Chains A and B, each alone.
Chain A
Amino acid sequence: MLQQIEGSRAVALGVALCRPEVICAYPITPQTHIVEALGEMVKKGELENCEYINVESEFAALSVSIGASAAGARSYTATASQGLLYMAEAVYNAAGLGLPIVMTIGNRAIGAPINIWNDHSDSMALRDAGWIQLYAETNQEALDLHIQAFRLAEALSCPVMVCVDGFILTHAYERIEVPDAKAVDEFLPPFEPVQVLDCDDPVSIGAMVGPEAFMEVKYLQHHKQIRALELIPAIADEFSKKFGRQSGGLVKPYRIEDAETIVVALGSVNGTIKDVVDEMRREGHLIGSLAIASFRPFPLKEARSALEKAKRVVVIEKSLSVGLGGPLSDGVRKSLSGIAMKGHTVIAGLGGRAITGKSLKDLFLKAERNELELLNFLDLDWKIVNQQIDRERETRRSGPIAENILKSIGTVASRIA
């Protein structure tokens, strides 16, 4: 059924179709609307057989999910930003214990300075926690990925994060095809755990493992992700056959056949990139793009075959590996091991900074002219940066950076002082 709805609502509907048995809710912008919507569905009785728990923190949210999952319930929670970091210990734990929890990340920047807007710093911070990370490009895909995520998580006994760009997707109203419940039930069978807290077959879950077996346990986590490289496209294919549209998968190439320049990115920015690609194609540029839909596991092989014939790769990163560059570039570079090719990392859109088509086009043209650096910061205001650098050089007690910058750009509130 087609509906014109907010992205968060779409995600909530998708999750509800998966018949989660335990949902843990803790508010944090921008994912809050998702759990609000789910709470309403449970309260109304639209979502049956589901315990909806208002917890006291994100750490508790995931911890409750861990308990529920270990006791055999299909468990779901959602978070963002600081919330994801606050639950970080449990994030690793859920993966280490192999509990197939699905969690939505309404991607958002991490403070300080505190900032509620979109980038990928949060999910990137936990990219190595052992979870599968799927990045949605559109709200339709956000909905669809949750259905696939439960299927994947439970097939592998591995938790899955579905990363949905905060505001850009979560708060955007789009036309969404909401799948039929019966079809989802057919696609996603009831959860059958590989291990469960069961009085009739008691086990101890969460043993302390020493050097004699820890590496093996960790390898087995890795092995699950290797298996996921096959399962993710298989599930996406099956989904496509069942529901009549492509969603998810490992990578999504766009007009790369003869491209000399290929732009690689995660999530919703791919929409803008594709618009720019189309525009530049019309102007005769040999440019294409590659959306990475599964960041963990990272599809090295698929990325390589998509990129290997290009002359240059431009990676748009919504996350800064401070002191190095961007995490997505790391994967891309690894996928191209042994191939001589120009590669550029572009840090863009941090803290919700708009990534405009114009900026991107300028960027890609610059790349074509081979004028791009290895590491670039899209639309960075060098004037402000340099002012602060100077200030710090001149004054020992130079004051708080964020507040200084706000003063420099002359925001309304900063004039009060």
Chain B
Amino acid sequence: MKKPFAITLDPGSSLANHTGSWRTERPVYVDRLPPCNHACPAGEDVQKWLYHAESGEYRKAWESLVQNNPFPAIMGRVCYHPCETACNRGALDESVGIHAVERFLGDEAIRQGWLPEMKEKETGKKVLVIGSGPSGLSCAYHLRLLGHRVVIMEAEDRAGGMMRYGIPKYRLPREVLEAEVGRLEKIGIEIRLKQKVNDVMEVMEGFDATFMAVGAHIAKRAYIPAGDASRIIDAVAMLHGMESDSRPRLGRHVVVYGGGNTAIDVARTAKRLGAEEPLIVYRRTKDRMPAHESEMNEAIEEGIRFRWLSTVKSMEEGSITVEKMVLDEKGFPQPTGEFEQIEADCLILALGQESELDLLKNVPRLETEKGMVKVDHAMMTSRPGLFAGGDMVPSEKTVTTGIGHGKKAARHIDAWLRNADFHEEEREIAEFGMLNTWYFSDAPKTVQPVLDLVRRQSTFDEVLSGLSEQNALFEARRCLSCGNCFECDNCYGVCPDNAVIKLGPGLRFRFNYDFCKGCGLCAQECPCGAIKMIPESI
């Protein structure tokens, strides 16, 4: 139509008016580091794989997960999930049951026979890994993903290290372990069993780099005067024995000495072997026990008894003598001089483990510290090309930490082989305060079905069963996606200036700075804190 001058205007013509010039601050999309990712010793991108799981794309979720950790099925069972401790949802209702979803994905992968995608070309480089524990396997796996050839030398007759010889079956069924380790062989990793390495210098020949992760298999001992008939064994030997044909005979009254997870494992194993109410003796109080609370609670439910503030002084036939302790102001236990006798057919020492470092004897100028090998930021020992990780280097001794070491070492080895440096990108942590929790509904954590109590006291069946698909989906969808856009459309919806462009499913959004006035509503109303306002340079 022929429009009257000035009073009548063409539709949408205000696009000529670029209101972006009003802005003093501009919003930018960021991918902050979710606290779960930050807390994961294996460096898992938890939020990222949950993102896929949320939409029921389990294969994609699993593929994303195994970018950082080859063992979701194992992890979902044995990891003490520091991710969940860090989870921001904990401040809202309950943290997301990450481990349960992880386990669901791991089990699903085993069931369906999924293999990780091999994207990198063969490099022609060959790397030796000594030890097939979590750290060694992880390193081998990541090196393989990066296109290197990998040979693992394992002293035992089966692979798995502490995952096999340290963790009881009721926590980690062996078929799960076999399946996940087996997957590594399927992607071309060679595992040479019963190949105990006595001299690293010798075996390193012919390899472009070497990663050592021989673990810590030597039990720490404490001097406990004992009569001839008394039975004192160490936890390592006992758990190792569980993997052999003849199970250790412990007797009715079993006392475990120590306060770590191994002590709990041993006590619960003893219960399953027929011991009556195994007793854990620990020199400090319950809240100071290094063992994880969930483990401890399960143990208590199963009938494991505890005796806090006690040290074992001696063992006689059929009994031990313990001394009561008190904590001083600094929290250290001090003897009281009060003694007591406790029935005991067997005393199991779970006082920690040390590494066997004899294989390093010929490495020149190797630096060690408290019986462990010193490594630099790149997990490399003082000998170029020789890397180490897991329990044999100073750090927390968990499966997950070992897996993290393996990954980290693999990436540095890869860089070292290319004469390059590997740098982890630094990201701001997505804290709870950055979230707008109004948008999240209250949703309690799905509790994994727990094995019937009577059954679990007497069998080595797995105590916790997995989530159903429906529950896993529910749980995944509880993720707040801290610091990372999950395409809720809020920014797109709340912009008064239509200055957010929606790019489509999976493609997220883009700001149209021609019109963005910088009000900051998008950042404020972003549920997950994935938008940051930064000053405009004017």
Contact = CB atoms under 8 A, between A and B. Distances in A.
Nearest to B12: A202
Chief secondary structure at chain B's binding surface:
loop
Interface in A186-244: 194-196, 198, 201-207, 209, 213-214, 216-217, 220
A53 interface: no
B1 A202 contact: no
B4 A204 contact: no
B433 to A, nearest CB: 43
B8 A205 contact: yes
Chief secondary structure at chain A's binding surface:
loop
Interface string A363-398: 000000000000000000000000000000000000
A196 B4 CA distance: 11
A195 B8 CA distance: 8
B5 interface: yes
B1 A195 contact: yes
Nearest to A220: B5
Given A195-B1, A203-B1, A217 B10 contact: no
A209 to B, nearest CB: 5
Contacts of B4: 97-98, 157, 194-195, 220
A195 B3 contact: yes
B5 A203 contact: no
Interface in B49-84: none
Given A195-B1, A203-B1, A213 B9 contact: no
Contacts of B10: 203-204
B7 A196 contact: no
A205 B6 CA distance: 9
Contacts of B3: 194-195, 203
Nearest to A217: B6
Contacts of A331: none
B49 to A, nearest CB: 47
A206 B5 contact: no
Interface string B93-136: 00000000000000000000000000000000000000000000
Interface in B1-35: 1-11
A179 interface: no
Contacts of A196: 1
Given A194-B1, A195-B1, A201-B1, A207 B11 contact: no
Give the residue among B1, B2, B3, B7 with the most A Cβ atoms within 10 A.
B7
A194 B7 CA distance: 13
Contacts of A157: 4
A209 B3 CA distance: 15
A90 B514 CA distance: 38
Top 5 closest pairs, chain A to chain B, by CB: A213-B6, A202-B11, A204-B9, A209-B6, A217-B6
Interface of B: 1-11
5 contacts: A195-B1, A195-B8, A204-B11, A206-B8, A216-B5
Given A198-B1, A207-B6, A209-B7, 11 more contacts: A157-B4, A194-B1, A194-B4, A203-B10, A204-B9, A204-B11, A216-B5, A217-B5, A217-B6, A217-B7, A220-B4
